[in-house]
Structures are given as structure tokens and as C-alpha cells.
Amino acid sequence: MFEITVNNRVIDAEPGDTILTALSRVGIKIPTLCYMKGLIPTGACRICVVEVEGMRGLVPSCSFPVQENMKIQTNSPKVIRARKTIIELLLADHPDDCLYCVRSGTCRLQALAEEYGIRERLFRHIRKEDALDMSSPSIVRDQDKCILCGKCIRTCEEIQKVSAIEFVGRGSKTIVAPAFKESLNISSCINCGQCITACPTGALRENSSLQEVSDAIADPEKIVVIQHAPSVSISLAEEFGMKPGTDINGLMTAALRRMGFDYVFETAFSADLTIMEEATELVGRITKNGVLPMFTSCSPGWIKFVEEFYPEFIPNLSTCKSPQSMLGALIKSYFAEKMGIDPRKIFSVSVMPCTAKKFEAARPEIGHDNLSDLDAVITTRELARFIRMSGIDFDHLQPEEADLPFGERSTAGKLFAATGGVMEAALRTAHKLITGKELKSLKIEQVRGTEGIREAKLKIGDLELGIAVVNGVGNARNLLEQIKAGRKDLHFVEVMTCPGGCLGGGGQPITLEDTDRLKMRTNSLYNIDQSENLRTSHDNVSVQNLYKEYLGVPNSEKAHHLLHTVYEKRNVLV
């Protein structure tokens, strides 16, 4: 450790620190736009400049290393003037449509303009040609709002390792786009939406389905059914000023009913169903010398990643549909028959933390009997907008239960929201299927955590099971390369597309607050698992009744018709 002086205050710094990391450690705030924690800084935006005694010009704090006895000013008149000029130049190339922008209130550029008191436009904005790309079912790209910070590119290339977008063109003609300025729908994009959460402005957003959902609710001929993913009730509260991780499951159900949805179901129910199908499939593969390791298939970005980049591993994917598609299929079959409803009159909606779920719902394989399993998918952010638009006040609601038969769920199904959750839920049931006994401790510590890849060997009866849990497809690429090279000690692999799992999905709330929201959401999820009694999928009575009344047994012919699917190699054009 050595000392540096910042704003006439002496603080400690460490060798290898940048000015930004040293100052952040002691709570000194410096604005950033292009900086990404954990990645090598680029110093591209220059909004983080500071003044260092003895240096002729200002230096970018994100990339400039500290030195012993360095004297720094973070808010001198020279620094303030430089930052204001940078913001004004960015605004010169930015549209004045904050009233309409989906990121108004959570836009980093807007917040900086407010913070530095910028009240007028100094330069006339000229709209870019072909600025809007709406070709993707999941993501809208608005080049007019792009500030060329490069965070979306780095997220896609360095974290997810998909490289669907890049800087294209030169000089003032530079834009962010797929290669050759093609559209997202023919690129290698896996629709994960992590670029949206990285973007500091509204240059990237989800392709909204709110109008279709609103129209369906207003149609007296439609029966509008909605399901919500396990992570939504834990993250939605943030949109309404509540502490991250607050579980508002019952309040959300009450809100959805007041908004006009006829039936409200929990996707965690079909997560339990997924476990019954997937655990049975895993046991079958192990005992009958099937293709191993088996990969989970509930994350659609991961599925598209395999289809595009590693098609040789398609046989390793579980044939199970995702929980949202399983429940969508049952709503238009079992539920429709049970209630005497024409399935063609059902408008089935899901609320997901994931933009890739929009892509999944549009896949031709995800359906049955000439019916799509789902008619619309909205993100957690879209649901928050819909709730505000409907005039719902949570302070005047009482918690309500979801509707049966798809309202009962175990905490195992709820764990699907976190990385490692699918694995933990599956192992609880696989242990029962193989040994006939419950695990002594349902908490499986080896699969919990936030590391990119976690591995363990677990003894189940006479079988030593090799497992791996992966979050982020960039990490999945590393594991797939090991398996391609001949690794054979794994039986079961869980992959979540997004870092942190669904809790960190591309459709989750975006805020300007610098808090570890992912950690708080995860802690809340494990508290739910610890505090409730029904903790295994196979003990869910509603799931048991579904098999007795309709499906027969897990992996039956009827179950395969409704709950399983196939995947095929995709050709990436750009």
C-alpha cells in the first residue's frame, strides 16, 4: 500500500490500481460511460477524466495507473468543463426524444446531463440513415441513440463470446451493427439481451409485445392467461422503489388479475414438471448408455448458441421444452379440456426475465397440433410498464394465490431462477428416482455460487455423478471445448445463458443505482427455499395429479408429444 492525495485528502492505494478503482474503494464517485468492471478498460468515452498534478492534460481515471504520492483533483473547474463538453458533444449526436424513450429515467447519458446542469442543445442533431433495426423478435437496435461506448460489443464478444455485433465503418460513419451492417435476425445473435443491460442509453431495447397483450385483454372473445417466471416476483419490486430481492409474488398475482388477465399461473409449476421429465431422461440416459453428458435445455439463448456454434452437441441437449413452453402447451391442451375452452380462443402470455424467450415462443418447433404454445412474451421491465399504465398501486393490494391447477409449486421449481437452481432441483429428484430415498440435506452447496463454471462429483446410490454448472455462454464455450477434446467425466451439465442465471436475465430491471442487485435477488431466492415446506418437485401434488389424470408417467408418449421438442443446426449468415 502507498498514499495518494485526492481532492486534498490522503488515501491508501495499491500497486496495480487505476485511479478509478482506488477512488471507488473509498467511496469517491467518478462518472463513467464505457467502463466495465472486470474487463480491461478502453478509456474510450473520456467522461471519467481527472486532473493529475504535473500532467499537462487530463487523464482517463479508468485506465490510468496510480503512483505513489500522486495528487489528483476529480472535480476541478478544468475537469468539470471537460466533462460537460463531452456530454454536450454526445448530445449533439443524440435525438431529443426522452419523452418517448424506454430508458427515460434509467439512461446514463440523461442522468449525466442532469448532473452537470446541461440545459440547452448547442448543436443540431441529424438523424442517421437506417437507424432502426426491428428484425429480431427479441431486440430492437436504435442506432440513432448509440453513443459508441462499445459496452454492448464487449459484452457480446468478451463475456458471452458470441460476437454478433461490432464497430462497422470509419470515422463519423462508424456504427454498431452486425457484420456488413446486416440485421440482427440473420446474425449470430442468441437474443440473450445482455447487450441491453450493458447499454447506457436506449440504443438497445426489447421488442415489446405490450400492444398485442393489451389488445387481447380488450377482446371479449379471448381468454387471456398469463404465467410468470420464478425470478420475476423477486426482481419486479425494484421497478417500484422496493429493496432488491423483495418477493412480491402474491401482490403481483393480485395486480395481474386487476389488469384483466383471466387466469394467473406460476411457471415454477412447470419448472417442477420439467424436473420430472428431465430427471427421468437423465436416469434413462445413464442406465441405458445414452448420449452423455446431458445438457439442460430451459435457456433458449443457450439452445441457439449450441445450434449455431456447436451443432455436434445437439444430441446432448435434453429434449425437454423450457418451463414456459411446457406450461404453454398444457394451457392449450389439458387446461383447455378441463375448463371446456376452445384452445384457439386462449391468448397465452408469459412474463420472463429473458428476451430470448420471445425468440423461443416464435420457434416453429415450440407448439403442438397446429397451435403455438405461447402467443406473447413480455419481460419483467415490460410488465412494470404495463402495471404503471394500468394505474395499479401495490400499497392498496392484498396478496393473492395463483390459479389452480398450475398455481402450486415447490421451492425446487422456484430455484430455476438462479444459476445452479435447475441442477439442484434435478438432483433432489434424481436421487429419489435412483435410490427411492430423499437426500439427507436438500441444500446442495456444491452447485451454489456465482463462479462461471462450478463442478462436483456427487454420490447417488452406487453411482458417482459428475456434474457441472455454467452461467454465461462464454463460460459454456470453454467447457464445450474441453468435452470436444475428450473429457468424459461429466454426466449432467446445467447451462444458463446469462451471468447469474435468470435472475440476471436480459429482460430484468435496469437501474442507475450501483448496488449488487444480483446477489440480493439470489439471497432472497435461497431464503424462500429454506423457509417453505414443499422443496422437491416430485412431492408437488398438482404435478402428481397431472400425471395421473393426463400424462401417465414422465417421458410417456403423451408427455413427449406436449413437453418435448427437437433442435437443428443453424447456419449463421454473418
User: Which residues are known to be catalytic?
Assistant: 278, 281, 298, 318, 357, 360, 365, 502
Which residue type occupies 154?
Answer: R
Cell 419490486 maps to which residue?
A: 237
Whether omega before 405 lies within 30 degrees of 0, making that bond cis, reads yes
CA distance 50 to 28: 12
CA distance 324 to 274: 10
C-alpha distances (whole Å) from 201 to each of 112, 279, 540 are 11, 42, 44
Cβ atoms within 10 A of the Cβ of 190, count? Answer: 28
Cα 184–Cα 328–Cα 566 angle in degrees, nearest 5 = 60
Q: At what angle do helices 473-484 and 300-309 cross, to 10 degrees?
A: 40
The C-alpha cell of 573 is what?
449468415
Could you tell me if 109 and 43 are in contact, meaning their C-beta atoms sit under 8 angstroms apart?
A: no
User: What SS3 class is residue 166?
Assistant: strand
CA distance 419 to 521: 12
Backbone angles phi, psi at 137, to 5 degrees: -70, -15
CA distance 535 to 528: 10
- DSSP state, residue 549: I
Residue 181, sorted as left (phi over 0), alpha (psi -120 to 50) or beta, turns out to be left
Could you tell me if 62 and 47 are in contact, meaning their C-beta atoms sit under 8 angstroms apart?
A: no
From 220, 258, 564, 213, select the one nearest 377 (Cα to Cα). Answer: 213
